[in-house]
Structure 1
């Protein structure tokens, strides 16, 4: 199994190097490529990406869903994995995603998120609360997919029509709610991605939790989420 990794990025020079270097250390038996979809960054994002990624595609500034779609359109392998620029990727990430997609009934898979710089409360929440929640949502066929840690089969992605490029957030959940018509969306707790807590630090717990709960419910009920999602850099 070969995998294309797509990373949307806008002004991420502070974080992107760590992400791309971690992807270079993947312990994966197949072929893989790393594509950075640069949203017309004004800092050193594109230069970093050109040095460390396989491909860099710079496009006019748009939504994150458009950035993911542009990267997916440029990819070449049978599986497309998505993560974010402010992440650290453990060496077993691609192999764990691929192991789940060996299931012929699987159209996609997502893993768990852990904080890069979290405190004890945040670490415990991500380790002990998120996995049971993710398992439950998969069981009731309402997968709550994190954009920083999921992969889909290309054929299912194309059949579903790709991302809704108008969405500024929730594009991951909305996409997988359409892809599940073509196969199961699985949850693999062994697939872990470490993410920045910068939004939590700016928004606080109440706003972060309430936003994501409300947005997820709206996506599952109506197929669209919040139209505004302020950048945090």
Structure 2
């Protein structure tokens, strides 16, 4: 099974090398068949120069129009040749990359799962008590929704069979936010989504530090309702925080 790892980026020169370094470790390269696709939204920093050290499959938005993350992910998927699409945000790292790929390889070969998602936590070195409390609640909420048959998954890490992704038309490009939740709701109508507690990714706390958990949660909920009932996000643009 071939993996296509799609990473949407926008001015991620500081954090992107951490993820790319994991993905190109020798034991990963030698064991698994995969490609890394950088789908850039028009970075003004050294993101593209850094990416070129790890992959030659770089898609850059050279137009003057802004590109939201849904468009970035869809662009990456259109240029993917793998059987399984792995969408990772540029600021995440995987808790155990070798186990991650091995788990996906085994799970999707032996089952009829259409997609996969996992818990998201804050970088251990930057985590504070409020981070642990919030993410414990949110991860539990996401797990329960998936166990109950409601498709739910954060865009930090979403894995989808390419055949399914193409069939449903990918991410809704009218959604500057909530595109991850909206996609998984559609996938769940077609079949099963796998959720594992043993695999998780760490994300940067930068958005929570700047806006606070209350404002971030309020924005997530407001956009979720807008996506659910209006088929588009409440926000026309998701604020970039670096």
Query: When the two structures are superposed, what TM-score results if normalisation uses the length of structure 1?
Result: 0.91
Deviation at 1:103, TM superposition (A): 4.8
Unaligned runs of 5+ in 2: none
SS of residue paired to 1:182 = coil
- For 2:199, the equivalent position in structure 1 comes to 191
Deviation at 1:222, TM superposition (A): 4.2
Q: Decide which moves more: 212-221 or 64-73.
A: 212-221
Q: Is 1:41 matched up with 2:43?
A: yes
- For 2:112, the equivalent position in structure 1 comes to 105
181, 203, 225: which one aligns with 2:211: 203
- For 1:161, the equivalent position in structure 2 comes to 169
Deviation at 1:6, TM superposition (A): 0.2
In 2, Cα distance between equivalents of 1:98 and 1:129: 29
Unaligned runs of 5+ in 1: none
In 2, Cα distance between equivalents of 1:207 and 1:193: 23
- For 1:63, the equivalent position in structure 2 comes to 68
Show the 5 A alignment for 1:116-127: 116=123, 117-126=126-135
* Distance change (3 Å), C-alpha of 1:232 and 1:33: same
CA contact (8 A) 1:144 1:216 kept: no
* Distance change (3 Å), C-alpha of 1:122 and 1:130: same
Q: Decide which moves more: 181-190 or 62-71.
A: 181-190
CA contact (8 A) 2:174 2:233 kept: no
In 2, Cα distance between equivalents of 1:94 and 1:220: 32
Q: Is 1:51 matched up with 2:53?
A: yes
Query: When the two structures are superposed, what TM-score results if normalisation uses the length of structure 2?
Result: 0.88
SS of residue paired to 1:12 = coil
Q: RMSD in angstroms over aligned alpha carbons?
A: 1.9
Q: Decide which moves more: 19-28 or 56-65.
A: 19-28
79, 84, 88: which one aligns with 1:74: 79
SS of residue paired to 2:189 = helix
Deviation per CA, 1:129-151, whole angstroms, max 9, x where unpaired?
23321221113332221111110
In 2, Cα distance between equivalents of 1:75 and 1:153: 11
CA contact (8 A) 2:118 2:195 kept: yes
- For 2:186, the equivalent position in structure 1 comes to 178
Q: Decide which moves more: 148-157 or 93-102.
A: 93-102
CA contact (8 A) 1:4 1:81 kept: yes
Show the 5 A alignment for 1:134-153: 134-153=142-161
